[in-house]
Amino acid sequence: MTVNAATTERRTAGRGRVTISDLAAHLGVTKSTVSRALNGYSDIAEATQLRVKRAAAQLGYRPLSHAQAIRTGRSRALGFVLQSDLHDGYRPFLSEFLAGMTHAASTENWTLTVAQAESEDDVLDTFERLIAEHKVDGFVLPRTKSADPRIDRLRAMDVPFVLFGRTARPDGCAWFDISGETAMAAAVARLADMGHRRIAHIGGAEGFHYTRLRAEGYRDGLRAAGLPWDPRLVCHDAAGHTDGRAAARRLLTLDRPPTAIVAAVDLAALGAYQAIAEAGLTVGREVSVIAYDGTPLAAYAAPPLTTFSVDSRHAGARLAALLIARIRGAAPEDLREVVEATLIVRGSDGPPVLTSHDLGARLAQSRAMGPLHP
Amino acid sequence: MTVNAATTERRTAGRGRVTISDLAAHLGVTKSTVSRALNGYSDIAEATQLRVKRAAAQLGYRPLSHAQAIRTGRSRALGFVLQSDLHDGYRPFLSEFLAGMTHAASTENWTLTVAQAESEDDVLDTFERLIAEHKVDGFVLPRTKSADPRIDRLRAMDVPFVLFGRTARPDGCAWFDISGETAMAAAVARLADMGHRRIAHIGGAEGFHYTRLRAEGYRDGLRAAGLPWDPRLVCHDAAGHTDGRAAARRLLTLDRPPTAIVAAVDLAALGAYQAIAEAGLTVGREVSVIAYDGTPLAAYAAPPLTTFSVDSRHAGARLAALLIARIRGAAPEDLREVVEATLIVRGSDGPPVLTSHDLGARLAQSRAMGPLHP
DNA sequence: TCGCTTGCCGAAACCGGTTTCGGGGGAAAT
DNA sequence: ATTTCCCCCGAAACCGGTTTCGGCAAGCGA
């Protein structure tokens, strides 16, 4: 205290921030002691650790992550790169998702840096750059594909990452996901219970693993209900509104059309709405629809869409926590979580008012009389 | 070259990155020379600067922004904090906006770090924290209010910032904005040209400056068309679908109801759609609707919504560029841009099929007969 | 009593940059 | 020919942390 009185006088320049040297001088120890005490090194006496930590809290000392990074190579930053050539630019959940990630990150005093890339190759380059410049310590990968080049690259670079979603070759991967397969199966079960016998599936964009899982869930649901799987009832690669409309149009020209549709994504379902209306039918009566995503606007469709809601904010928060754990060295096998989506029952599903046979007849008749004479 | 041969041998450890020392050794100069050459100091000979820059490019040297930050206090990072208690959680443009910001930032080798706060006070605390820890050098402020506490705080802290939107007291502020006022005025002009004489306005959420500007634009449009401004025709504080529906319901109970509605936001317009349908009317015939935002889903409403589209990506890019310029010392008065929105004509507007008087009579009659007998 | 281990902490190097200071050397001035 | 000035650049300190190394003192057994 007496010896260090002079150095204690040294005023902190930068914005009044208290540095590790200030803290050390205040305590009458060296900054190396402070550093090791705060980082919990065992060669610092328990009592000293407590004293240092208490003083740090009291003086409001927070280490500069940049300064740490230069020595440790770790910047306490999570990376998130969004790929903007993915044509389904509609992401109402991004805001919630980011909020979850940054909230969870900030509780550990980590930050989130987001980058952007034009193409898949550009994403990989961005990974390289961000890692080379130590700007981030790991990545959260949204929208995982069954075969995902990003995973291969990060694995090769030995850079920590976590998936939002699952993938075909899961070795070395940590993830958080929402079970689209059980949701789709539950949707089929619900419709079968209502009396539907012809239930179609409009699948999501090809390549993404969730599309595969949801299609499997649809199949599982049929099997559990004792219904046959008919390839004519499943449509592939419907990413958006237009695709969904086209898919539903095709389904309604079938000899034995479906009386219910389970869509992998809300947007496709909303497209199907339009096709159903064009055919002179009413959603929720002649044709039931259940979808997945919980898009807010779907609540205002006519009729309001019955859909599975996902908690994007919670997903973001879990992913951030998992990634931090992964960076700290946890094994990826221990960092895998899958939760259930929750069904929001609204007005687009109900018992069939027509059998598939009668529905087919009615559609054939209206086609013969022209679309404007139902 | 001969003297430094030994030091040149020193292998780079960290991930094979080339450091300033590597580059200096390679060139046979000191790292101070390299640093000043790359930063364009005038006390380095032109020829040397060229030689250093060439070698840096060739060897792929990129300074570690952390290492720079510790001395300069600048981290080459833009801050963006999203406030998650803003109930209008629907932000389909966030993805585009972020893409624009990060793209522009990365061309200057800057990054974007996003944070999150639960409340307005929390936002201010987050500002303090991010600045104190030198994590960002400035902020982009979305959704500016007429009186915005964030602006006051950042002004007081003397931290650079730019607004997405304008504000009531613009001194010291830089901004990028899209002119909602001219858009609203153009909408009124368009409708007046079609023959509408009673044109209503459904205003946006109270407090946000864009709401005020769009309301002014509506008024300007009326004045230019020689139409009177009637307070009964303007609704306030409609942030979302529900508010928009309520507002339109009220408008349709007026003695002389509007034959056209200009909505400040798409969501409110979509709510109005529902109220119009409930009243047994058809959007685009008895009641025209023009809105603002360019929400993608509005293209699939029935009828497709005529609306003003904003280029969120461009906005993000410009804001990033402006903020970087601001941080580098440009005067805020020189960093103000306002661009026009572009009208997307779809199916929700057209000449009135009924006068306001006749429409009022018809609505009164259907109210008397009950809502189910139009 | 002595030597040896062990616990605890200080001194100093280090990370990768930036910035200050000072001096060598060539050109212009005397 | 000498002085002066200025152009360049090297040497070293510095930013705020982390980590290595070594040494002092207390505790232990012999």
Q: Is A84 helix (H, G, I), strand (E, B) or coil?
A: coil
Q: Is residue A12 part of a domain?
A: yes
Contacts of B277 in chain A (CB under 8 A): 302
Q: Which member of B69, B114, B241 has the closest CB to residue A66?
A: B69
Asked if residue B311 has pLDDT above 50, the reply is yes
Q: What is the residue range of A119's domain?
A: 75-178+312-340
Amino acid code (one letter) for A256: R
Q: Is residue B59 part of a domain?
A: no
B19 CA to C14 C1' in angstroms comes to: 14
Q: Say if residue A231 is in the same domain as residue A327.
A: no
Contacts of B113 in chain A (CB under 8 A): 77, 111-114
Structure token digits, residue B320 = 């990033």
Q: What is the pLDDT of residue A371?
A: 56
Q: Is residue A68 part of a domain?
A: no
Nucleotide nearest to B45 in CA–C1' terms = D8
Q: Say if residue B129 is in the same domain as residue B160.
A: yes
Q: Say if residue A230 is in the same domain as residue A348.
A: yes
**Closest residue, CA to C1' of C7:** A43
Alpha-carbon gap, residue B176 to A273, rounded angstroms: 39
Q: Say if residue A198 is in the same domain as residue A294.
A: yes
Per-residue DSSP letters for B49-79? HHHHHHHHHHHT----HHHHHHHHS---EEE
Asked if residue A8 has pLDDT above 60, the reply is no
Q: What is the pLDDT of residue B297?
A: 84
* Main-chain dihedrals φ then ψ at residue A349, nearest 5 degrees: -130, 150
Q: Is residue B200 part of a domain?
A: yes
Q: What is the pLDDT of residue A87?
A: 57
Q: Which member of B75, B102, B132 has the closest CB to residue A114?
A: B102
Q: Say if residue B124 is in the same domain as residue B226.
A: no
Q: What is the pLDDT of residue A88?
A: 58
Question: Is residue B371 very low, low, confident or very high in pLDDT (cuts 50, 70, 90)?
Answer: low
Q: Say if residue A155 is in the same domain as residue A142.
A: yes
DSSP classification of residue B160: -
Q: Say if residue A14 is in the same domain as residue A130.
A: no
Q: Is residue B63 part of a domain?
A: no
Question: Is residue B91 very low, low, confident or very high in pLDDT (cuts 50, 70, 90)?
Answer: confident
Contacts of B296 in chain A (CB under 8 A): 89-90
Q: Say if residue A161 is in the same domain as residue A206.
A: no
Phi-psi region at B227: left, alpha or beta (left = phi > 0; alpha = psi -120 to 50): beta
Q: Say if residue A85 is in the same domain as residue A59.
A: no
B36 CA to D6 C1' in angstroms comes to: 19
pLDDT digits (tens, 9 = 90+) for B203-243: 999 999 999 999 999 999 999 999 999 999 999 999 999 99
Determine, for residues B115 and A102 on separate chains, whether the beta-carbon distance falls below 8 Å.
yes
Q: Is residue B301 part of a domain?
A: yes
Contacts of B98 in chain A (CB under 8 A): 82, 94, 114, 116
Taking CA atoms, A183 is separated from A210, A307, A358, B95, B228, in Å, by: 12, 9, 29, 27, 55
Contact call for residues A122 and A111 (beta carbons, < 8 A): no
Asked if residue A3 has pLDDT above 70, the reply is no
Contacts of A91 in chain B (CB under 8 A): 92, 94-95
Q: Say if residue B352 is in the same domain as residue B254.
A: yes
Determine, for residues A106 and B99 on separate chains, whether the beta-carbon distance falls below 8 Å.
no
Count how many Cα atoms sit within 13 Å of the Cα of residue B364 in the half-sphere of its side chain: 10
Q: Which residue of A has its CA nearest to B302?
A: A274
> How does the average pLDDT of chain B come out, rounded?
92
pLDDT digits (tens, 9 = 90+) for B4-58: 333 333 333 345 789 999 999 999 999 999 999 999 999 999 999 999 999 999 9
Q: Say if residue A215 is in the same domain as residue A302.
A: yes
Please state, for a pLDDT cut of 70, what percent of chain A lies above it. 94
Q: Is residue B55 part of a domain?
A: no
pLDDT digits (tens, 9 = 90+) for A277-319: 999 999 999 999 999 999 888 999 999 999 999 999 999 999 9
Q: Which residue has the tokens 């400035």?
A: B138
Task: Indicate which of A12, A93, A106, A111 best probes the interface with B, i.e. most B CBs within 10 Å of its own CB.
Answer: A111
Per-residue DSSP letters for A132-187? HTT--SEEEE-S-BSS-HHHHHHHHHT--EEEES--SS-TT-EEEEEEHHHHHHHH
pLDDT digits (tens, 9 = 90+) for B150-173: 999 999 999 999 999 999 999 999
Asked which of A315-324, B15-24, B84-93, B310-319 is least confident by mean pLDDT, the reply is B84-93
Other beta carbons within 10 angstroms of residue A350's beta carbon come to 17
Domain count, chain A: 3
Asked if residue B370 has pLDDT above 70, the reply is no
Determine, for residues A98 and B116 on separate chains, whether the beta-carbon distance falls below 8 Å.
yes
Please state at what angle helix A31-38 crosses helix A20-27, rounded to 10 degrees.
Answer: 100
| Strand pairing category for A111-117 and A138-141 | unpaired
The average pLDDT across A307-332 equals: 97
B22 CA to D5 C1' in angstroms comes to: 35
Determine, for residues A113 and B115 on separate chains, whether the beta-carbon distance falls below 8 Å.
no
Determine, for residues B297 and A297 on separate chains, whether the beta-carbon distance falls below 8 Å.
yes
Question: Is residue B179 very low, low, confident or very high in pLDDT (cuts 50, 70, 90)?
Answer: very high
Alpha-carbon gap, residue B301 to A370, rounded angstroms: 24
DSSP classification of residue B99: H
Determine, for residues A271 and B133 on separate chains, whether the beta-carbon distance falls below 8 Å.
no
Asked which of A101-105, A258-262, A370-374, B332-336 is least confident by mean pLDDT, the reply is A370-374
Structure token digits, residue B164 = 């997405």
Q: What is the pLDDT of residue B5?
A: 34
Contact call for residues B78 and B114 (beta carbons, < 8 A): no
Asked if residue A146 has pLDDT above 80, the reply is yes
Contact call for residues A82 and B95 (beta carbons, < 8 A): yes
In chain B, residues 46 through 85 whose Cβ sits under 7 angstroms from any atom of nucleic acid strand C: 61, 63-64, 67-68, 70-72
The average pLDDT across B111-123 equals: 96
Asked if residue A233 has pLDDT above 60, the reply is yes
Give per-residue burial for B254-276: e unless 16+ CB within 10 Å, then b. Answer: beebbbbbbbbbbbbbbbbbbbb
CATH number, domain with residue A287: 3.40.50.2300
Nucleotide nearest to A22 in CA–C1' terms = D16
CATH number, domain with residue A15: 1.10.260.40
Determine, for residues A115 and B112 on separate chains, whether the beta-carbon distance falls below 8 Å.
yes
Determine, for residues B94 and A90 on separate chains, whether the beta-carbon distance falls below 8 Å.
no
Task: Indicate which of B65, B81, B98 best probes the interface with A, i.e. most A CBs within 10 Å of its own CB.
Answer: B98
Alpha-carbon gap, residue A287 to A297, rounded angstroms: 20
Q: What is the pLDDT of residue A14?
A: 44
Please state, for a pLDDT cut of 90, what percent of chain B lies above it. 89
Contact call for residues A358 and A259 (beta carbons, < 8 A): no
Q: How many CB pairs under 8 A join A and B?
A: 135
Nearest to A92 by CA among A310, A269, A306, A242: A310
Q: Is A24 helix (H, G, I), strand (E, B) or coil?
A: helix
Task: Indicate which of B102, B127, B265, B266 best probes the interface with A, i.e. most A CBs within 10 Å of its own CB.
Answer: B102
Q: Is residue A318 part of a domain?
A: yes
Protein-proximal nucleotides of chain D (any atom < 7 Å from a CB) = 7-20, 22
Nucleotide nearest to A46 in CA–C1' terms = C8
Nearest to A251 by CA among A227, A236, A235: A235
pLDDT digits (tens, 9 = 90+) for B12-26: 334 578 999 999 999
Q: Is B28 helix (H, G, I), strand (E, B) or coil?
A: coil
Q: What is the pLDDT of residue A7?
A: 33
Structure token digits, residue A332 = 């990826």
Q: What is the pLDDT of residue A12?
A: 35
Determine, for residues B64 and A75 on separate chains, whether the beta-carbon distance falls below 8 Å.
no
Decide: CB of B19 under 7 A of nucleic strand C. Answer: yes
> How does the average pLDDT of chain A come out, rounded?
92
Q: Say if residue A184 is in the same domain as residue A165.
A: no
Protein-proximal nucleotides of chain C (any atom < 7 Å from a CB) = 7-20, 22
Q: What is the pLDDT of residue B84?
A: 86
Alpha-carbon gap, residue A115 to A93, rounded angstroms: 18
